[in-house]
Amino acid sequence: MYRYLVILGLLATPALAETGGLTVPDHPEGTVSEAQGLDAWSRIEAVVTHPRCTNCHVEAGAAPMWSGPEFTPERPHGMNIQAGDSRIGAEFLPCQSCHMTDPGPNMVPHAPPHTGLEWQLAPAEFVWFGKEGAAICAQLRDPERNGGRDGAALVEHITHDAELRGFITWGFAPGGDREPAPGDLQSHLDDMAEWVAAGMPCP
C-alpha cells in the first residue's frame, strides 16, 4: 500500500501525507488483517449507503433522488430534473442552474465556488442507490465497475474530490437541517485506507 501512495504523491513522509487538511495513513503490508478490513468496511458501508451519497449515485438515464429523513416518501428529484448522459443536465436543465454558489445553509448543495466546477451526478458506473452494502463493496473493488481504479486510486479519489470538487466534503457537512453522512471525512479516509490495506475484503 505504501509504495502505491508514494507513486501517487500522497505520502510526504513515511507516516502521513498532508492532503488539503486530510492525512492519508500508511499501513505497511501485512499490518492490517482481513477482520480489521471488514470492520473498516462496516463503517464505509454506513457512508456509501447513506442518502447523502446515494441520491446522486444513480444509474444512467435516471433522475437524481430525494430520499432520507428529509423526504417522505423518497422520490425522484422534483421539477422533472434529468441529468442526462452528461451527468450535469446539459441535455435538459443544467444542474448548475440551481446548484451554484452558496446562497445559505438551507439552500441547494453546490460545488465550492473557488473550483469553478459544476454540480453533477456521480459517474454512471458508480450506481449505489438501492444497492445493499455487499453489492457496493464488490463494485468498488472491481476496476471494470469503479472507473478503472485500484485500491490506491480509490483512496486518492477521496482526497482529490475533497481538494478540488467538494462533493464528498459536502456529504459530511451538508448544512441546515440535513442529516449528514455518518462520521467525518477524515475518518472515512482512514477507513478506506485500512480497507484497501487489508485487501478490500467484502462481507
Whether the per-residue pLDDT at 110 is higher than 50: the answer is yes
Cα dihedral 175/112/51/75 (nearest 10): 100
Q: Does some domain include residue 203?
A: no
Q: Does some domain include residue 79?
A: yes
| Contact indicator for 95, 63 with CB cutoff of 8 Å | no
Q: Does some domain include residue 147?
A: yes
Domain total in the chain: 1
User: What is the amino acid identity at position 73?
Assistant: P
pLDDT tens-digit map of 153-176: 999 999 988 877 678 888 998 887
Question: 167 has which bridge partners?
Answer: none
Q: Does some domain include residue 109?
A: yes
Q: 105 lies in which domain range?
A: 2-197
pLDDT tens-digit map of 131-148: 999 999 999 999 999 989
Q: Does some domain include residue 202?
A: no
Higher pLDDT, 40 or 91: 40
